[in-house]
Structure 1
Amino acid sequence: MHGNSHLTPGITEFGQCGSDGAHLFQINANVPVIDALAYSSNLQRCANQLMLDSALGESGEHAKWAAIYLGEMAKAIVDDLAAATRAD
């Protein structure tokens, strides 16, 4: 990795909504990779805990949707970082 490859490129969109499939959010550019990965890991940990709670019947419907959205955000971060490695 060289140049700005230790930063997020900021090209990944997520949060598809509406009938035209527009994306509501986009990963910001120039975030250090280590920080982005840590944030993604925290999002995924929260999503996993919500899914476990849901599987064990310890949560309501809201937890399922929260887990889906957290997982989508975590995936978008990783996808953005993967795009940076393909660009090198």
Structure 2
Amino acid sequence: MSLEAGKTAGVVGFIRSPQLPTGLFRIAPGVPCDYALEQASVVLGCVHSLLRAGLVDEEGDMMWAAYYLSEFAKAIIDDVGLGMNRVKP
């Protein structure tokens, strides 16, 4: 099974809260998995840069930005996994 065959499921949400039954945002359904994973890699690269800068400068806003972006990237990857499991070999 190739990554190109799968599409995102569109069910994983992110920026969760105990007060919300689902995440504030949700991954769009039907995005090709290879493209979604490429975007997750870009987001994780940004997270890495923010963490490095935030730790050196002791900048809390950068750390929070990295936290939310990492949750976003994780949601993309989790949704890709669900989408790929829907594809029949």
State the TM-score, normalizing by the size of structure 2: 0.82
Give, as a single letter, the amino acid of the residue that structure 2 aligns with 1:39: Q
RMSD, aligned α-carbons = 2.0
Aligned residues: 86
Looking at structure 1, the residues matched to 21 and 46 of structure 2 have their Cα atoms a distance apart, in angstroms, of 26
Percentage of identical aligned residues: 30
* Structure 2: gaps (5+ residues): none
- Would you tell me which structure has more strand in proportion to its own residues? 1
Which residue in the other structure is 2:81 paired with?
82
Which residue in the other structure is 1:26 paired with?
26
Instruction: Provide Cα deviations, 1:1-35, integer angstroms capped at 9, x if missing partner.
Output: 38x94211111111113524542111000111121
- Secondary structure at 1:23 match in 2: coil
* Structure 1: gaps (5+ residues): none
State the TM-score, normalizing by the size of structure 1: 0.82
